[in-house]
Structures are given as C-alpha cells and as structure tokens.
Amino acid sequence: MTVVNPCVSCGACCAYFRVSFYWAESELGGGTVPDELTSQVNPYLSCMKGTESRNGCRCVSLSGDIGQVVACTMYEKRPSPCREFEYSGYLGIHNPDCDKARAHHGLAPLPVIHIAPAA
C-alpha cells in the first residue's frame, strides 16, 4: 500500500503560521536557509519572507494552490519549524495546529488513523 503525503495537496500551514527560527539557520549563520528568503524578527529570530504577518501570510517558498497541489521550492534547505511540523494523522498522532491551518483555508481536518501494534 502506497501512502501519499497529504501535504503535497495542502500547504495550509505554509500560508497560516509565521515560520520563525533561530537566525543561525540562515546561510549567514552557517545554516542552509537562503538569506534572501528571510526577514529579521528580532536579534535572535528570523522568519521566512511572506510569513511576517498573519494577514495575507504565505511563505515565499510555497508554490501552487493551497488545497490543490503545492510544493516547497527550497524543501532541502527549509528551516527547523518546517522540518518538525507533521500533518495531523502522521503515525496516528493528532496535530491540532494542522487542523487550525486547514480550517483557516476552508479545508477539512485530516483523518487520524490509529494503527494497532503488531501482535
């Protein structure tokens, strides 16, 4: 059975939350996140451009249409909040933040399927 990651047809989190992270994750600090795609939040935090405010928030690296087909144009260089965020239902674990972002864009929550341990 092939399981398709629902994130490739969603993108709601990338267009709802501020994606902030420790500034050293950017190239200037020795990390991988391209500097030209970030904004400074304070002396310690940067964020992805486009996510600075909640109104009209959308990460500059998100391509496609939310709820249809989306992709991160810098997936391999994405910051820790993006690497750590799991869709609701991943490994049977509910993520209310995923549900919140999806609801904001008029998308239904993802199902959480609890898998019984092998006997």
Residue 40 three-state SS: strand
63 beta partners: 71
pLDDT in tens, 64-79: 999 999 999 999 999 9
Residue 44 three-state SS: coil
pLDDT in tens, 8-56: 999 999 999 999 999 999 999 999 999 999 999 999 999 999 999 866 7
E-only strand ranges, 1-119: 20-22, 38-40, 45-48, 62-65, 69-72
pTM to 2 decimals? 0.87
Give residue for tokens 């939040």. Answer: 41
CA 26, CA 91: separation in Å to the nearest integer?
Answer: 30
